[in-house]
Chains A and B, each alone.
Chain A
Amino acid sequence: MPLVDKTTGRRLSGAQQRKHAALRRQPAEQPAPAQATPAKKPQAQPRAAVHPALAAIKPPPLGDVTAVESWATMCALAVAVAGRDGADPDRLRVVRKGLRAIGQLRDKARRSAKAAELIKLRCGEIHDLIAEQPPANPMVAAAWAYFRLAVLVHSTLTASNPHAYAEQLEDLATIGFVPSKQAIDALTAQLRGG
């Protein structure tokens, strides 16, 4: 449906259409308000309080893929409870996105974590899968991304501005689409052969 001026019935200009689109976007993505004089600065809208079910979630048990999956399940339950109570739908939308990514990444992360352990045991190469910085070896990237996702989801549960994490979640989830399968196969073939 083209946007039209309700009084004139004419289609809006390009500038007016862009303004409308910005209004429809998420608040975090809306263009920053024009600088105003301090005297005229409006008070920031206070966000609704974090739902107790979300606040009760403990930090994820990093380092253990299976345990993190169980933790994510508990998160999903808390989101369901919060959703039922009508708590902050924007926050819940971001958290759901992160939990979906955790589920999608789980199997790849498990294999990646096994590859990391194998590399450690057989090649002496140690990778910190729960560090903030990404690992140097692509074979262990999926496991690292999995744990980072868990950390981000946990932050999103209580963050004042959960929308700020949406892009990061998307970026980490993307690692799951390139899990270095061939490299892991090559590693196992090499170790089995040797």
Chain B
Amino acid sequence: MPVLSQEAALDRLLAESRPESRFVDLCVRFRRLTLQSAAPIPDDTILHTAAVVEFKCRTVNGIIACASTTAGESAKLEAGEVLTWAGGIATLQTELVAEFGRRWDRLEKAWSPDPVQSALTFDLMESQVAITRIFRDRWECFKAGKRHPKHSYFLVDDRAGGKSLICLLLVLAAKLDYPVHPDGAEVVVWLISVNHPASRELAREIRRWLPASWYRLQEHPHHILHLAHGGQIILMSTDVPDDLKNGRNDLALLNEGAKMSSEPYESGIARTKDRMGLWLIPSNPPLRTKGAWISEVAEKAEEAEATGERNPVEFVACNSRLNISIDSESNADVRTVLQWISPARAAADAEGLIRPIGERLYRPPFSVAAHRKPFIEAEWAGRDITRLVTKQETGVEFDWIVTTDYQLRPGCVGTLAKIFGSREQPVFWILDDYWAEGSEDDLIDDMEEDARWVQSGGTPRVNSKNTLVVGDCSGATQNFKHEKGKDSFSVFQARGYKIVPCNKPRRTGPDAVAKNPPVDRTLGRVHTALKEGRLLFDPAAETTIRSMKDCRFRKSITRIYAIGLEAHLTDTVRYLVWWATPPRRPANFNRGKIWSLKK
């Protein structure tokens, strides 16, 4: 044993044994500070206490939240302190939001029954209050061994909201509060950063906020935070994500989740199953593909909330607008400049909006939570205008519309639809989709087989008598292999279907051929229908829903092109909306002339 370790052992034993250092108050209190004032106080007003502690305030939802301009200075103040400003006086109010830990007896290695004499007080910013309350309740649940519906808490918001700091302090406080399970097993806590240099930020905050007597930071051979009561917190990096597969875990802080792939999260959360642990993930909204998993989780959570399905994650706001220490005017300046340079970065870093990574053609406004709904026939009974629309557009009434697109690869696709509501504001329901890796004939077979519907107990819906096919205009001149002289439409016609192109030809005449409406012309109608809730998708059309969600686009100087495999089914949706939506203001040929040369 090296000499240093003998000395350290003696020091530690002496610290445990001396009456003055035997007890240590391992207690963290989280307070919310507000002001009570007869007169309203303008935002960002500076107030002073008698001891010349400087405070700043902001009114949030009718409450005057405040914080000392120097971090930590307010901790020594108690409720009732009088603050003065140019317009009068205000009284400091404190609310104890959460308290973790007690007085620790180093000699007995147990909590002392004596009351805490000097707790570490952390005054919350208004942005940090919500997560503190949520975590307090969740931690109580964990300690009691009760099941809780939420497993992971994502604090995804703009920069400077104080997300990482509050999550770090909550994790530290939780470990201080509950070092071991009643059965003697240690509560395993991880602080995970994208790499070890990044974990120095956490180490810096630990050194800044925790009293030196509460901890020891070990850096070699492993990064471990040793707490005064013997508990350990492991500082990990995601350099080797598989390392997170080791052992059990009860609580973890995954700092800046958007900077890492989903692999650490995937590997790590499985380790919390043993004791119903939880994770905190503070992050800015992702801007790179690496962090796209956060957007995915956000969307899935939103969908699950909308549909009432199981949702084990919660997204908690922690916006810098509620961080009083941040100057609101400076914040606005930064936001403005970012919007000039990079709207995407402004949305993420200044607004805290979680957007899908990469540009999507239909998202927003498309959202699975809003537009994926089961079609309930009874709800729409009496409002079906499919026959009316088909009559108006083709002269023949049909019960169903299938819009189709023909490709050799990935195949011929179609969507089954019905139209409801009024003719001026039609509501489109996409009820099913077909994807035939083959020719038009194969697609028709799929349509007539109607496999999903039949498996759910129905009889095939589509046949040549009751279904109008709205086709990709190129199908009138070429087939699915793009072979000239053979066309896709004739296959449908040969099997008895009425098929029309999705667009009208620009000129009349026997050789007039319609061209597909370009994306940039039709996109407006689709987006409008989505925004107005007039384009809905039954879960049976799952592939179409996924395509609507993920369809990407490419821009040229004058055009927008839908690209990727997702473009095919979404094209059929776009064709339908374009084909069946009347012009917003149809031409009125009976109207009197407004402009006339005659006087």
A118: interface (CB < 8 Å): yes
Chain B residues near A181 (CB-CB < 8 A):
6
Chain B residues near A115 (CB-CB < 8 A):
10
Q: Are A185 and B13 in contact (CB under 8 A)?
A: no
A121: interface (CB < 8 Å): yes
Q: Are B13 and A184 in contact (CB under 8 A)?
A: no
In the assembled complex, the Cα of A107 lies from the Cα of B11 at a distance in Å of 14
Which of chain A's residues has its CB closest to B11's CB? A114
In the assembled complex, the Cα of A162 lies from the Cα of B13 at a distance in Å of 42
Q: Are B6 and A191 in contact (CB under 8 A)?
A: no
In the assembled complex, the Cα of A184 lies from the Cα of B7 at a distance in Å of 10
Task: Indicate which residue in A107, A110, A118 contacts B13 across the interface (CB closer than 8 Å).
Answer: A118
On chain A, the number of residues with a Cβ less than 8 Å from chain B's Cβ atoms is 15
Question: B1-48: which have CB < 8 Å to A?
Answer: 1, 3, 6-7, 9-14, 17-18
Chain B residues near A188 (CB-CB < 8 A):
6, 9-10, 13
Question: B412-440: which have CB < 8 Å to A?
Answer: none
Q: Are B17 and A111 in contact (CB under 8 A)?
A: no
On chain B, the number of residues with a Cβ less than 8 Å from chain A's Cβ atoms is 12
Q: Are B14 and A121 in contact (CB under 8 A)?
A: yes
Q: Are A111 and B14 in contact (CB under 8 A)?
A: no
Can you list 14 pairs linking A and B with CB atoms under 8 Å apart? A107-B3, A111-B7, A111-B10, A114-B7, A115-B10, A118-B14, A121-B14, A121-B17, A122-B13, A184-B6, A184-B10, A188-B6, A191-B13, A192-B9
Interface string of A130-146 (1 = CB under 8 A from B): 00000000000000000
In the assembled complex, the Cα of A115 lies from the Cα of B17 at a distance in Å of 12
Chain A residues near B6 (CB-CB < 8 A):
111, 181, 184-185, 188
Chain A residues near B18 (CB-CB < 8 A):
121
Interface string of B385-396 (1 = CB under 8 A from A): 000000000000
Which of chain A's residues has its CB closest to B12's CB? A192
Which of chain A's residues has its CB closest to B18's CB? A121
Question: B51-90: which have CB < 8 Å to A?
Answer: none
In the assembled complex, the Cα of A79 lies from the Cα of B395 at a distance in Å of 121
Which of chain B's residues has its CB closest to A107's CB? B3
How many Å from the CB of A177 to the closest CB on chain B? Answer: 15
Interface string of A34-54 (1 = CB under 8 A from B): 000000000000000000000
Q: Are A118 and B3 in contact (CB under 8 A)?
A: no
In the assembled complex, the Cα of A179 lies from the Cα of B14 at a distance in Å of 19
Chain B residues near A191 (CB-CB < 8 A):
13
How many Å from the CB of B229 to the closest CB on chain A? Answer: 15
Which of chain B's residues has its CB closest to A117's CB? B14
Interface string of A163-188 (1 = CB under 8 A from B): 00000000000000000010011001
Name the residue in B6, B10, B12 with the highest tally of chain A Cβ atoms < 10 Å from its Cβ.
B10
How many Å from the CB of A18 to the closest CB on chain B? Answer: 46
Task: Indicate which residue in B1, B7, B17 contacts A118 across the interface (CB closer than 8 Å).
Answer: B17
Interface string of A8-39 (1 = CB under 8 A from B): 00000000000000000000000000000000
How many Å from the CB of A63 to the closest CB on chain B? Answer: 16
